[in-house]
Amino acid sequence: MDLSYILNELGEERENYFNAVSPPIIQSSNFTFKTIDDFRLALNDEFEALVYSRGQNPTLNILRKKLAALDGAEDALVFASGIAAISVPILALLQQGGHIVSVENPYSWTLRLFESFLPKFGITTTFVDGRHVENFNKAILPETKLIYLESPNTFSYELQDLGAVAKLAKSKGIITMCDNSYCSPYYQKPISLGIDLVAQSATKYVGGHSDVVAGVLTGSKALITRIFNQEFMNIGASLSPHSAWLLIRGLRTMPLRLQRSFESAKTITSWLGRHPAIDKVIWPFTGDFKQSKLAHQQMQGSGGMFSFTLKDPSLQKTETFCNSLQHILMAVSWGGHESLIIPNIATIAKDEYDVNSERHQLIRMYVGLEEADYLIKDLEQALTAITP
């Protein structure tokens, strides 16, 4: 299916709403029935019928069709947050006593799900260095039901070989799930590599304007229906029709925004890499990236987020550098129009900072839609502030 068709036409039935180009926001919780027969039929299958907006809603259904097609999946569900799109399917797939093999250092709330939420139900997780497929194989137990991936990592950018892990999991009858927020389906399609379920924080690149919190899950119709019928409906993390409309609007320009973010990230990482105050730049598409070959094999481009370390990574220099930025904002989320910085030290208590730990030293930058030169000027003056 053509990308342009998906983003501009798929799922839209304009003749049903006055030929309006922009779809309506069906801001209704309820849908009515003329006869008991119709009512009964609908209540029997809330996955297919319009009954109540905790389940299906027409504005959300336009969005679902587009998101499924973008991922090359049979179906999609949208949620009120990215973390709901991760937690709900995991609660659906695991039973008491079940086991998960997860890549180490996943997104912070995913980690908390594995470390403190799921153990309440007797579900345990083994974390592995995902750069080597054998590590997944070694961690599999008879009760392993899920292999959880996040490629690349969004702070330190390690990749997993998605095709190889999917193959291993299939041979053992284990379901695979991948958080694809960093690349979005525009730059990486895990389903085409054999992954079963793909989650994405739509707060990031799909929304693209830092004004919606939302999540997407895509996969086979069988898995999506199973997740919908119990956990999706029970947990009820449904997205509002207005937010769904904002995401449809975001999708129209998603390729343009991703191309821009990718191009500017190339310029800025290469400038930073040559700066005397910078020690290391970590981004999947720099020439010296350790998994460069795999990155070019399974990613069609890169998200515009990278990390770097300072030659002098002391707490004081790192803080002075970040506090000196005039235009690049300090904030947690990313994928919007505005460039952002978050030093790892912001997540660590001051007295726990280990100046020799590369992970502690990392400063993460997300490149938004500003001119690259404008951002470089801001970085330059902040680096000057820490140069003796």
Which range in 28-36, 50-58, 78-86, 259-267 contacts ligand PLP by CB under 6 A? 78-86
181 binds ligand PLP (CB under 6 A): yes
Q: Which of 179, 196, 231, 378 binds ligand PLP (CB under 6 A)?
A: 179
Q: How far is the CB of 213 from ligand PLP (least distance, A)?
A: 5
Nearer to ligand PLP, 331 or 376 (CB): 331
154 binds ligand PLP (CB under 6 A): yes
Q: Considering only CA atoms, give the Rg of the chain.
A: 22
Q: Name the CA dihedral angle for 127, 129, 130, 134, rounded to a multiple of 10 degrees.
A: -100
For 39, residues 6+ apart whose C-beta sits below 8 A from its C-beta are: 33
Q: How far is the CB of 43 from ligand PLP (least distance, A)?
A: 31
CB 114 within 8 A of CB 102: yes
361 binds ligand PLP (CB under 6 A): no
Q: How far is the CB of 79 from ligand PLP (least distance, A)?
A: 8
Q: How far is the CB of 316 from ligand PLP (least distance, A)?
A: 29
Pairwise CA distance, residues 256 & 92, whole Å: 35
Q: Exposed/middle/buried for 15, CB within 10 Å: 0-12, 13-18, 19+?
A: exposed
82 binds ligand PLP (CB under 6 A): yes
83 binds ligand PLP (CB under 6 A): yes
Pairwise CA distance, residues 312 & 291, whole Å: 26
Which range in 34-42, 54-62, 196-204, 358-366 contacts ligand PLP by CB under 6 A? 196-204
Please state whether beta strands 215-219 and 363-366 pair in parallel, antiparallel, or not at all (unpaired): unpaired
Residue nearest to ligand PLP (CB): 82
Strand, helix or coil at 113? Answer: helix
250 binds ligand PLP (CB under 6 A): no
81 binds ligand PLP (CB under 6 A): yes
53 binds ligand PLP (CB under 6 A): no
Nearer to ligand PLP, 81 or 339 (CB): 81
261 binds ligand PLP (CB under 6 A): no
Angle subtended at Cα 248 by Cα 245 and Cα 253, rounded to the nearest 5 degrees: 135
Q: State the number of binding residues for ligand PLP (CB under 6 A).
A: 13
Single out the residue of 383, 388, 367, 281 nearest to residue 324, CA to CA.
Answer: 383
CB 239 within 8 A of CB 79: yes
The structure tokens listed for 205 are 């690149």
Q: How far is the CB of 387 from ligand PLP (least distance, A)?
A: 32
DSSP 228: I
Q: How far is the CB of 277 from ligand PLP (least distance, A)?
A: 28
Q: Which of 63, 70, 118, 213 binds ligand PLP (CB under 6 A)?
A: 213
DSSP 331: -
218 has which bridge partners? Answer: 76, 198
Which range in 200-208, 266-274, 291-299, 318-326 contacts ligand PLP by CB under 6 A? 200-208
Q: Which of 53, 87, 184, 203 binds ligand PLP (CB under 6 A)?
A: 203
Longest dimension (CA), the chain: 80
Q: In this structure, how many other beta carbons lie within 10 angstroms of the beta carbon of residue 132?
A: 13
Q: How far is the CB of 200 from ligand PLP (least distance, A)?
A: 8
201 binds ligand PLP (CB under 6 A): yes
The structure tokens listed for 211 are 């004004």
Residues 89-148 that bind ligand PLP (CB under 6 A): 107
Q: Exposed/middle/buried for 126, CB within 10 Å: 0-12, 13-18, 19+?
A: middle
DSSP 230: I
Nearer to ligand PLP, 181 or 298 (CB): 181
Question: What residues line the site for ligand PLP (CB under 6 A)?
Answer: 81-83, 107, 150, 154, 179, 181, 201, 203-204, 213, 215
